[in-house]
Structure 1
Amino acid sequence: MENPENIDRMTTLSQVMNKLNERGIHREFRMNESCEMKLENSEKNYQPNELIILKTYRFEGDSNPDDNAVLYVIKDTAGNRGMIIDSYGADSNYPGEDFDKFLREIPIDDSEEEEYNF
């Protein structure tokens, strides 16, 4: 049965990214080959305790399990906001355990989560 409260909710990664972009969140935090987390167009190396996860979105492909992705809305200690995007399951964007370990160490603060409920 269809839930009428969810009819207008965004369900795709691109829809959520567009909405975040409208709110000024368009830069990505990415882990480089040296396992350093950096904000796009920045030289700063982040440690997990310098970041906060504000919201997590999970996306599952309708017909292909390889289409699974997760998007995290992140804020650093200076107030810069960005996102981390990763496919999950067998085909992660970041091979190895370093990315997963780093991500698990980032504190979660859901006090601003309501701001990102689209």
Structure 2
Amino acid sequence: MKEQYDTISVAIEKLRKLGFTTDFNLKDNCLAHPQGKIKADDFIIVDVYRYEGNSDAEDEAAVYAIESYYGVKGILVTGYGISTEANSEEILKRLNIRG
């Protein structure tokens, strides 16, 4: 499925068309979504897209296409590099990248 998209918004739009419709957020060592929280161990990362800011390192971001083992598919957008929060790094390390 890996295709590099020009911008974060294009990546999100294309992923939504592929069925990644849930918006995930990092919360309390879980991935939170409108219907609740799911442990990081219950997900895999299907794809990751990284974006670098043109002039500001704080503009760096990553878009994750995530799928749960029981069928919930969605998107997580986080900062990376110097803009990554310590909490985010810990949770993302627990997620499995599909290989």
The interval holding the TM-score normalised by the smaller chain is 0.7 to 0.9
Per the alignment, residue 38 of structure 2 pairs with 46
What is the RMSD of the two structures over their aligned residues, measured on CA atoms? 1.8
Number of residue pairs aligned between Structure 1 and Structure 2: 96
Per the alignment, residue 83 of structure 2 pairs with 91
Per the alignment, residue 73 of structure 1 pairs with 65
Amino acid at match of 1:26: T
Which structure's CA Rg is the greater one?
A: 1
Gaps of 5+ in 1: 1-8, 111-118
Moved over 6 A (4+): none
Gaps of 5+ in 2: none
Distance 2:12 2:52 in 1: 15
1:26 paired with 2:18, answer no
Deviation at 1:15, TM superposition (A): 1.0
Deviation at 1:20, TM superposition (A): 1.3
Which structure is higher in strand share?
A: 2
Amino acid at match of 1:84: L
Q: 1:26 to 1:91 in 2, by over 3 A?
A: same
Aligned counterpart in structure 1 of residue 92 of structure 2, from 82, 89, 103: 103
% identical aligned pairs: 24
Distance 1:26 1:66 in 2: 26
Distance 2:30 2:95 in 1: 14
Per the alignment, residue 37 of structure 1 pairs with 31
For residues 71-113 of structure 1, the C-alpha deviation after alignment (integer angstroms, 9 at most, x for no partner) is: 1110001111101100122333xx3x33211110111113xxx
Amino acid at match of 1:51: F
Relative contact order higher in (CA < 8 Å, ≥ 6 apart): 2
State the SS of the aligned residue for 2:81.
coil
State the SS of the aligned residue for 2:14.
helix
